[in-house]
Amino acid sequence: MYDQITVMAKELYEKSVALRRDLHRHPETGWLEMRTSAVIAGILTNLGYEVLTGRQVVDDGARMGLPSEEARREHAKLVREGWDTPLTYLTEEMEAGYTGVIGILRCGQGPVCALRFDIDALGVLEDENACHRPAREGFASQCPGVMHACGHDGHTAIGLGVAEVLMNLRAQLHGTVKLIFQPAEEGVRGARAIVSKGHLDDVDYFVGTHLAPLDGPDDGAVTPATYGSLATTKYDILYRGAPAHAGGFPEKGRNALLAAACAAMGLAAIPRHSEGSSRVNVGTLHAGTGRNVIPDYAKMEIELRGETTEINEYMAENARRVCEAAAAMYGCTCEMICMGAADSHHSDLTLADRAAAVIERELPDIRVSSVRCARNWGSEDISLMMNRVQSHGGQAICMRNITAMEAPQHTADFDFDEKVLEEGIRVFSAIAYDLLRDEPLHG
Amino acid sequence: MYDQITVMAKELYEKSVALRRDLHRHPETGWLEMRTSAVIAGILTNLGYEVLTGRQVVDDGARMGLPSEEARREHAKLVREGWDTPLTYLTEEMEAGYTGVIGILRCGQGPVCALRFDIDALGVLEDENACHRPAREGFASQCPGVMHACGHDGHTAIGLGVAEVLMNLRAQLHGTVKLIFQPAEEGVRGARAIVSKGHLDDVDYFVGTHLAPLDGPDDGAVTPATYGSLATTKYDILYRGAPAHAGGFPEKGRNALLAAACAAMGLAAIPRHSEGSSRVNVGTLHAGTGRNVIPDYAKMEIELRGETTEINEYMAENARRVCEAAAAMYGCTCEMICMGAADSHHSDLTLADRAAAVIERELPDIRVSSVRCARNWGSEDISLMMNRVQSHGGQAICMRNITAMEAPQHTADFDFDEKVLEEGIRVFSAIAYDLLRDEPLHG
Amino acid sequence: MYDQITVMAKELYEKSVALRRDLHRHPETGWLEMRTSAVIAGILTNLGYEVLTGRQVVDDGARMGLPSEEARREHAKLVREGWDTPLTYLTEEMEAGYTGVIGILRCGQGPVCALRFDIDALGVLEDENACHRPAREGFASQCPGVMHACGHDGHTAIGLGVAEVLMNLRAQLHGTVKLIFQPAEEGVRGARAIVSKGHLDDVDYFVGTHLAPLDGPDDGAVTPATYGSLATTKYDILYRGAPAHAGGFPEKGRNALLAAACAAMGLAAIPRHSEGSSRVNVGTLHAGTGRNVIPDYAKMEIELRGETTEINEYMAENARRVCEAAAAMYGCTCEMICMGAADSHHSDLTLADRAAAVIERELPDIRVSSVRCARNWGSEDISLMMNRVQSHGGQAICMRNITAMEAPQHTADFDFDEKVLEEGIRVFSAIAYDLLRDEPLHG
Amino acid sequence: MYDQITVMAKELYEKSVALRRDLHRHPETGWLEMRTSAVIAGILTNLGYEVLTGRQVVDDGARMGLPSEEARREHAKLVREGWDTPLTYLTEEMEAGYTGVIGILRCGQGPVCALRFDIDALGVLEDENACHRPAREGFASQCPGVMHACGHDGHTAIGLGVAEVLMNLRAQLHGTVKLIFQPAEEGVRGARAIVSKGHLDDVDYFVGTHLAPLDGPDDGAVTPATYGSLATTKYDILYRGAPAHAGGFPEKGRNALLAAACAAMGLAAIPRHSEGSSRVNVGTLHAGTGRNVIPDYAKMEIELRGETTEINEYMAENARRVCEAAAAMYGCTCEMICMGAADSHHSDLTLADRAAAVIERELPDIRVSSVRCARNWGSEDISLMMNRVQSHGGQAICMRNITAMEAPQHTADFDFDEKVLEEGIRVFSAIAYDLLRDEPLHG
C-alpha cells in the first residue's frame, strides 16, 4: 500500500506544483484567505469530502487580529471581481472573514486522525527581479505587498495532495480523517478560533508540519517531532484621554501619549522569571494629533513570550496590570485587544517514533533526522491544537519537512524546492495510513 | 485706655522677655508642646481665663503629622522628669500629644474676637557659639536638635502678655476674647485639628501675626494684613510590596521601590495649570532593605502647592491618582497619609484698615507699613482658620510684626530683637480693645 | 493728506476684496506660498517698488519647518500648471520654497519704517456648506485641506493696499518704506529667516497687526499695541536605534521607542519656573515598525513655551538635555530639528501712543481701544522682528485690527467682515505717513 | 601516607573544634577580619610557614566594598582593647583593613598547589536562645549583629588543620603549597584584591570548597567539583544634584531623586539576553533631605547578574550607560563604585576526577557524590581566582563538603556538625599530597 502512496504522490506532483503556484500568485493574509478557502473547498468537495467552511470552521468571537470590515470588503471585491476565483465555492461567510476549511472523510469505526495545514500569506512585497524564480517563471504575487514568504502555499498544496491520496485509500482506512486548513497562522491568530469550535476535541492523532531549510539543525528530509516554541500573547492596546490646547489649558488634557510611554517603561520592567526565558516588546507606538494638542489617543502593538505557557501567562498577567495602571495614572481609559496567542508545545514521542518507523521502513528514500524531537524557537499556534488534543489523551506531533530554500523565510526572495511537495504528500499519507489501517477491535 | 495698654505692656516687658527665654530654652516640636502647653495653661488659669486643653482644643482624628507614640512617650518623660515643668497643669492628654491651649474671657454680649498664636519649635540644632546671644546669655535650647528658630516663642510670649492686658481691661470689653495657642504650625499640621473642633465657627474677628525681618519688603513696624501664601498639601506615601531574592526568584517580588520611582516620575509630570502657579516635590524617598532583595517597602515625603486653594486641590487630586496607579502598576499597596495642609488666604481689608487706623491714631510711635496688604510667599495654616471665619461672614487678618533678626528664620543662628514683644502686646491689645469696646446695641 | 488716505482706501476697497478672495481661493501653507509670492511681487513691481524675492528675502539655512523637497515640487507643479499664477513673477527660488517678498520705497533721507504682513494659510479643510460665505460666493479654497483660516489673506490684501497708497504719497515722504510680506507664520517658522538676513537691522519704526474678533477684550476697532505672547520653541526629535527580532535577540536591539518614551516622561518633569508660566508638550509620537521587532526609529513633535523669552529658553535648554540623555540611556542617537521659534514681545508705548494719537486725530471714525497695550496669549513670531528692531534702539508695535468673524480663527467656518480691509489700509497708511512726513533735520 | 593524614586529622579534631568556636565567638565582616587575620598569621608562623599579610596579600586599590575609615577604626579598637587578640601578630595594616593571610610552604621543585579558605562573617544577629547550640555551649557571637552564619569559621579551621598536616608531610612534597585565607567573600568583594596582586599567576592546581547542607542535591560527603554560579557585579551609585526650595525656586534644583528614579526604571528595562539568564536589582534607594527641598542627593545599591561572565558584562555595561544617562537627564553627576564582582566558573574535570579518585581510593569511608560536577546557583568570588588559574593553563576545582546543618545558611540559627572539620582536613590534605607527591622529572 505504501508503494501505492509513493506512486500516487509522483502522479500528483505536477498538479501539486501548479496548485502551489496558483496559490503563490494569489496570496492572502490572515482572515482574508477568501479565494484560498474557495479553492480548497472546491477541491475537497470534488474529491468527495464532507466540507466545513465559514462559521462551521471558526468560532465567531475567537478570531484574533481580524482585519477591519473595510479591509475585508475591499479584498472580497478583488477576489470576486479581479481574480479567477471559483465563485461556486466562495461563500458570503468567507467574504466576511470566516476563512479556513475542514475536510472530513469518515471510514467507519476507528480513531480520528487530524492533519493540519496553514494557508495564509504574509505582508511582504515580493521581489520582482528575474533572479527570483516566481518572478522569472510568472507565478509571483498578484497582490503587491502580500506574499507567500513562509511556504504556506506549499503546506496547502501538500494537504490537498494528501486529500486525494487518502480518498483513494479510503477502502483500507478505519476511522476518520480530518484535514484542517487553518487560516491566520501568521501572528498566531487563527488556531484559537478552530480549537474553540471543538474540532480538536475528538482527535486521537494529530499531525502538523512546517517546511524548514536544509541548512538548519536537521540532518534528514523529515524531522518527526518538535517541541518548545515560545508561548506568546499579542495585544493591541488603545489609550484614550482628552485633548486640550497645550499652551492654553494643559490641565484639561488627559495625556494618552504619556500613559502609553509610562506603560512602555513598565512593560520593559516586568521582572525576569527564574524558571525560564521570557520576552516583552512594545513594537509600535503611535500617539497624538498635533504638536500643540495634549494627545488624547495612543495605540501600542505589544507581544509577550515565555519559554513555557506558564511563564507567558505570567508575562501577560503583568502586562495587563501595567497597561491598566498606566491608563489610571494619566486619567485615561485603556482597551486591550488580544491579537494573537500561542502556547509552547511538546510532541508525543510515541507518535513521533511510530511516524519515524513507518517512514524508515516504508519510504526508505526519505531520510529521517537523527534528532527525533528538535527544539523550535519561534512561536506557532499549532501549539493550541496540540495541547487540546493532548489534554484529553490524544497524541500530537509537529514535524519538519526539510527543503532547499532560496532565501530565509519571511523575506522578499523566499522560494523553495518544490520536490518537497511530493515528499510531504508521501510522508503525511503514510503516517495517516499507518494510523488508520488497523481494523479496531470489537469494543 | 490705649495709654493704659501702653503702660501695661511696658510693665510686662521684663516678664515677657523672661517667658520667651524660658520657652526658648525648652523648645518642643509639633504635637510635643507638652511643657509649653502646661506653661500656657498655668498662666491663663492664674489670670482667671476659662482654659481649654487636650481634646477640648484639638480634634482627635485631625492631628496631621503626629509623631509616633514612642516619640511622644519619650518626650513626655523628659518633660515630666528632666525639665522644670509646672506639673499641676501638665495633663495626660497633653502627654499623649493633645497639645495647644485656648483661653476664653467672656465679657457679656458682643462680638467674638479670636487672637491666634502658634507655639511650636523646629528641628534645628541651635548654634552654641558665644556670638549667638541665646548661647551667650544662657537661654539656648536645652533639647539638642530642637530650636525656636522661627520666633514662635515670641508669638507665645506676646499672646500671654495680651492675655494679661485684656484681663485687666475686661470691665471695658463687650463680647468674648478667645486666645488660641496653636500647636504644630510647622509643616502646616495643627490648624486643621482646631478648626475641625469648631473653635472658629463663632468668631467675628480674627487676628494673627508672624514676626518678620526688618529687611523685608515691609517699611513699618506693623503690616496690618497679608494675602497669598501657596495653598499646600503634604503627604507621606508608603508603598508595600513583597520581598524576594533578586537572584533566585525575581518574579516573586512586588517591587515597592519601582512603584515609588514610577510615582515620582508621574508626580513630576502633573500638567501645569493655566490659572496660576503650582508646585510638586518628592522631597525624600527611602526604599529597600538590601542589595540582593527585591524591595518590599518604600516611603516618600511629598508636597503639592498651588497659587489658589483650587489649584492646590487640582495638584493633590492628580497626586493621589498617580500614587495609587503606581502602586497598582507594580502590584503593591499604597497608603497616603496627609501630613499637613494649608489654603491660600486673604485678609479682610476692612478689618486691616480698622487695625491700621487704631494703631496710627492711638499708638503713634509704632509705624504702620504703607503697603496695607502684603503678599506672602510661604505656606501658613492660619489660612484654614481665616477661611473658616470668613466662610460664615467673619473678618480675618494676618499681620506681620517687624523686628530685627540676627539671621534668617529656620537657621541655627536665628534670634530677634525682643523689643517686638512689647510692641506686639500693644498692637494686639489695642486692636482687640477697639473691636470689643463698644457696647452692643439692643437686639 | 489723511483725508486723501481715506479717499484712496475707499477707492481701493473693491480691488482689495477681490485680491483677498483670490488669495483665499489659492491658499498656501508655510514655505509653499509660491503663487502668493508671485502675486505680491507682480503687484509691487507694477506699482514701482524695489522688490526682493527668494534668497534675497529669506536666509537659506534659517527656514524652519521646511516641507520636504517632494512636497515643494508637487505644489510647484500645481502652481505652475493647475492655477492661474502670474508666471512672469514666479521664480525658481520661489518654487524651491524661498517664499516671501519685500517691497522697498526709498524717499530720501529719513527713518526706515517697516510694515509687516504675514501671508501663509493653514492645514484646515474649508467648510463647503452654503452657509459658509466663501463657499456660497465661490471663493472657497481650491486646495482641499488648506485654508486661509486665520485671516492672513486679509493681512496681505491690506499690505498691498497700503503699498499703493504710500506709493501715491511718496512725494510727501522722507525716509524709507519697507513692506515685509512674511511666509510661514503658522508654526512660528518664517520670521527667523528674514531677521537672520538682516532686513530688520536698519528699521527705526516697525508696525505689524493681526485681525482679531469683535467679541474679544478689545473695545475699539484698533488696539494700537500688544505685549506678552508665550515665547516658544518647536522641535522635531528623531531617535534612531537598531532593530532586532524581539523574540530571538532582544539584547541586540537599540530601542528607540523606549528612548522616546523616557524622553516624554523627562520632558513632562522639567521643573516649573518660579518667575512665570511655562509649558511643554509632546504632541505626537510615532515609533516602531512591527510588533515583533525592537523599534529602531521614533519621532516626536514637541513644543516648549515660556511667559518670557528667558523662561522659554530655560525650557528649551532642559528639553535638549533630556532628549539627548534619553537617547544615551537606550544607546540611540538623537537628532533635534528646530521647527519653529518665537519670543515673547512688548510694544513700545511711545510708538503706540503716537499711532493712537494719529488715528484719533485724523481718522476719528475709527475707534481706538481704551486699553492701549493688550495682553496676547498665543505665540507669534513677529516677536523676533520686534525684538531685533528694539535691540538697536528702534520702536515696534504689534496692533490688533478688530473685525466681526463668523467663527473662531483656525476653524473650517472662519470668515471675516471685509470692511476691515479698508480700515486696515487707512490705519497703516496714516501711521506710516505720520512717521515719515517730517523732513529730517540736517545732521 | 594517606593513613597518616587520617590519623593526624583525628588528632587535630579537638583543636580544630576549639579554633572554629573561637572564631565563631569573634566574627568579623569583610575587610574587618583583623583578629581573624592575626590568629591565622600566628598559627601559620608558629607552624613554620612563610607568612604574607596586609598589603602583601591584597592590592591597595582593588578592595571592593571597603567599610568606612571610621568603621575600621572602631572595630580595630574593639579588637585591640576588647578582645583576646594575639597582639603580636596584629599589624597596623590589618587594622587599616588590609586583611587576609597567605601561608607558603616551599618544598623544592614541583607544581604550585593553592588551597583557598574564606574567613569573613555576616551581618546577622545570632540567635541567643538555648536551643541554638553556640548560645547553649557558650561560643555564640561576641559581636551583636555579626555572625559566622555561612560556615567560614569552619573553612578557616579546616585550612589551619591542613596547614599543620602538610607541614608534617613536607619532606614528602615536591613543589609549593599556598594556603590562601581570603577576606570579604560575602558580597564577592575580596577575591579581586588577591588576584590583582598576582598570587594566582603561578598556580598549577587550585582547590577551594564550601560547606553545603546534607539535604541538598549532593548524595555524598564530598562533591569534587561545581560549575555555574551567576556572574555578578555590585555597584553603589551616588547621584549629586543641587538643592533648592521646592516652593520658591524649583527651577534652580538639580533633582537627584528623579535621576535615581529614572535610572531605576531604565535598569529594570535592560533587555533580556537570548543566550541565558540575567538579573538586575536596585535593592535600596535613599534620596533627599526634606519634604520641601529639591533632593540633591540619592544613593542606590544595585546588582547585576548573568548566567555567564559575558551576559553579566552585558548587564553591567548597560547599567553603566543607563545610570550615567539618568544623571545627565536631570543635570546631576553620577558616581559608580564597584562594590563586588564575581564571574561564573567551571571546574576542571580532570582535576575533579583525580581528586575523586584519591578520595575513593585512599579515604574510602568518605563517600564521593555520584554527580562529579554540580551546578551552583549563587555567586562566589572564588570564580575570579579559578578563572585566573585557568587562564594560564592551571587547573581548578571548587568542591562541596557536605554536613548536617541546623538551619539554612545566612540565618540566625545556623550551625553545622563539626565532624566536617576532620573530614575537610583529610580531603584537602589528601588531594594536595596527591598533587605534590611526585618528584618532578628533570626539565
- List pLDDT tens digits, range C191-216: 999 999 999 999 999 999 999 998 87
| Contact flag D277-A272 (C-beta cutoff 8 Å) | yes
Q: What is the pLDDT of residue A442?
A: 55
- Is the pLDDT confidence value at B431 over 90? yes
Q: Are A254 and A242 in contact (CB under 8 A)?
A: yes
Length of chain C: 443
Output the 3-class SS for D269-329: CCCCCCCCCEEEEEEEEEECCCCCECCCEEEEEEEEEECCHHHHHHHHHHHHHHHHHHHHH
What residues are paired with B254 via a beta bridge? B242
Which has more pLDDT, A210 or B216? A210
Cα-Cα end-to-end distance for chain B: 27
Q: Are A394 and A435 in contact (CB under 8 A)?
A: no
CB of D401 within 8 Å of any CB in chain A?
no
Of C258, C281, C290, which is closest to A265 when you measure between CB atoms?
Answer: C258
Q: What is the CATH number of the domain that holds A416?
A: 3.40.630.10
Q: In whole angstroms, give the CA distance from residue B299 to residue B285.
A: 6
Residues C260, C211: one domain? Answer: no
Residues D47, D149: one domain? Answer: yes
Q: In whole angstroms, give the CA distance from residue B372 to residue B399.
A: 9
CB of D322 within 8 Å of any CB in chain C?
yes
Residues C337, C349: one domain? Answer: no
Q: In whole angstroms, give the CA distance from residue B304 to residue B302.
A: 7
The per-residue b/e assignment along A344-375, b for 16 or more CB within 10 angstroms, e otherwise, is: bbbbbbebbebbbebbeebbeebebbeebbbe
Residues A112, A37: one domain? Answer: yes
ipTM: 0.86
Domain that holds residue A252: 231-341
Which has more pLDDT, B319 or D220? B319
With respect to residue D184, please indicate whether it lies within any of the assigned structural domains: yes
Q: What is the pLDDT of residue C1?
A: 84
Of D261, D284, D288, which is closest to B295 when you measure between CB atoms?
Answer: D284
With respect to residue B186, please indicate whether it lies within any of the assigned structural domains: yes
Q: In whole angstroms, give the CA distance from residue C88 to residue D31.
A: 88
- Is the pLDDT confidence value at B440 over 80? no
| Contact flag B274-A331 (C-beta cutoff 8 Å) | no
* Mean pLDDT, residues C78-85: 94
- Is the pLDDT confidence value at B376 over 90? no
With respect to residue A443, please indicate whether it lies within any of the assigned structural domains: no
- Is the pLDDT confidence value at D441 over 70? no
Q: In whole angstroms, give the CA distance from residue C432 to residue D441.
A: 111
Confidence of residue D1 (pLDDT cuts 50, 70, 90): confident
- Rounded-to-5 percentages of helix, strand, coil across chain B: 40, 25, 35
Domain final residue pick, A296, A321, A341 = A341
Residues C318, C369: one domain? Answer: no
CB of C268 within 8 Å of any CB in chain B?
yes
The predicted-structure confidence for D376-416, as pLDDT tens digits, reads as follows 877 889 999 999 999 999 999 999 999 999 998 999 999 99
Q: In whole angstroms, give the CA distance from residue C362 to residue A278.
A: 80
What residues are paired with A164 via a beta bridge? none
Secondary structure element (H or E) that encloses residue D364, with its range: none
Q: What is the CATH number of the domain that holds D236?
A: 3.30.70.360
Q: Are A288 and A295 in contact (CB under 8 A)?
A: yes
Alpha helices in B31-114 (DSSP H): 34-47, 69-77, 92-95
| Contact flag D329-C325 (C-beta cutoff 8 Å) | yes
Q: What is the pLDDT of residue A441?
A: 62
Of D261, D302, D303, which is closest to B261 when you measure between CB atoms?
Answer: D261
Residues A371, A387: one domain? Answer: yes
Q: In whole angstroms, give the CA distance from residue A106 to residue B223.
A: 102
- Is the pLDDT confidence value at D229 over 90? no
Nearest-CA distance B268 → chain C (Å): 5
Minimal-distance CA residue of chain D relative to A262: D265
* A260 CB-side CA count, 13 A: 34
- Is the pLDDT confidence value at D427 over 90? yes
- Is the pLDDT confidence value at B341 over 50? yes
Q: What is the pLDDT of residue A269?
A: 96
Per-residue cell: D201? 599567576
* Mean pLDDT, residues C406-413: 91
CB of C367 within 8 Å of any CB in chain B?
no
- Is the pLDDT confidence value at D61 over 60? yes
Minimal-distance CA residue of chain B relative to D288: B284
Nearest-CA distance B249 → chain A (Å): 5
With respect to residue B282, please indicate whether it lies within any of the assigned structural domains: yes
Residues A145, A282: one domain? Answer: no
Minimal-distance CA residue of chain A relative to C293: A283
Cα-Cα end-to-end distance for chain D: 27
| Contact flag C268-B272 (C-beta cutoff 8 Å) | no
With respect to residue C442, please indicate whether it lies within any of the assigned structural domains: no
Percent of chain D with pLDDT strictly greater than 70: 99
| Contact flag B285-D261 (C-beta cutoff 8 Å) | yes
Q: What is the mean pLDDT of each run of 10 residues along chain A (443 residues)?
A: 95 98 98 98 98 96 94 96 95 97 97 98 93 96 95 98 98 97 96 97 97 87 92 97 92 97 97 95 96 95 96 98 98 97 95 97 95 85 96 96 93 95 98 90 54
- Is the pLDDT confidence value at C356 over 80? yes
Residues C203, C151: one domain? Answer: yes
Residues D298, D354: one domain? Answer: no
* Mean pLDDT, residues C107-131: 95
Q: What is the pLDDT of residue A443?
A: 45
A371: left (phi over 0), alpha (psi -120 to 50) or beta: beta
- Supply the DSSP string of C131-164, one letter for each residue: TSHHHHTT-S-SSTT-B--SSHHHHHHHHHHHHH
The per-residue pLDDT of chain D, averaged, comes to: 95
| Contact flag C303-A292 (C-beta cutoff 8 Å) | yes
Instruction: Report the amino acid identity of residue B79.
Output: V
Q: In whole angstroms, give the CA distance from residue D60 to residue D98.
A: 8
Minimal-distance CA residue of chain A relative to B324: A329
- Is the pLDDT confidence value at C234 over 70? yes
Q: What is the pLDDT of residue C441?
A: 62
Minimal-distance CA residue of chain D relative to A273: D277
Of B279, B291, B302, which is closest to D284 when you measure between CB atoms?
Answer: B291
Domain final residue pick, A290, A307, A341 = A341
Among B12-16, B372-376, D51-55, D186-190, the minimum mean pLDDT is found in B372-376
Instruction: Indicate the number of domains in chain B.
Output: 2
Residues D104, D166: one domain? Answer: yes
Please report residues of A whose CB lies closer than 8 A to that of B325.
Answer: 325-326, 328-329
Confidence of residue C377 (pLDDT cuts 50, 70, 90): confident
> Mutate which of B239, B245, B249, B251 to test chain A, going by most A C-beta atoms within 10 A?
B251
Separation in Å, CA C404 to CA C138, C415, C420: 20, 9, 9
Please report residues of C whose CB lies closer than 8 A to that of D253.
Answer: 271
The predicted-structure confidence for A406-418, as pLDDT tens digits, reads as follows 998 999 999 999 9
Please report residues of C whose CB lies closer than 8 A to that of A302.
Answer: 291
Q: In whole angstroms, give the CA distance from residue B171 to residue C163.
A: 85
CB of D275 within 8 Å of any CB in chain A?
no
* Mean pLDDT, residues B304-309: 95
With respect to residue D441, please indicate whether it lies within any of the assigned structural domains: no
Residues B248, B334: one domain? Answer: yes
Confidence of residue B443 (pLDDT cuts 50, 70, 90): very low
Confidence of residue B281 (pLDDT cuts 50, 70, 90): very high
Q: In whole angstroms, give the CA distance from residue A193 to residue A98.
A: 10
* pTM for this entry: 0.89
With respect to residue C430, please indicate whether it lies within any of the assigned structural domains: yes
- Is the pLDDT confidence value at C174 over 50? yes
Tracing cell 565582616 back to the chain, one arrives at D29
Domain final residue pick, D313, D342, D371 = D342
Percent of chain D with pLDDT strictly greater than 90: 91
- Beta carbons within 8 Å of C441's beta carbon, 6+ residues apart: none
Q: In whole angstroms, give the CA distance from residue B212 to residue B151.
A: 9
- Is the pLDDT confidence value at D434 over 50? yes
Residues C429, C292: one domain? Answer: no
- Beta carbons within 8 Å of A385's beta carbon, 6+ residues apart: A114, A116, A180, A191, A194, A195, A200, A206, A208, A396
CB of A272 within 8 Å of any CB in chain B?
yes
CB of B38 within 8 Å of any CB in chain A?
no
With respect to residue D131, please indicate whether it lies within any of the assigned structural domains: yes
* Mean pLDDT, residues D67-95: 96
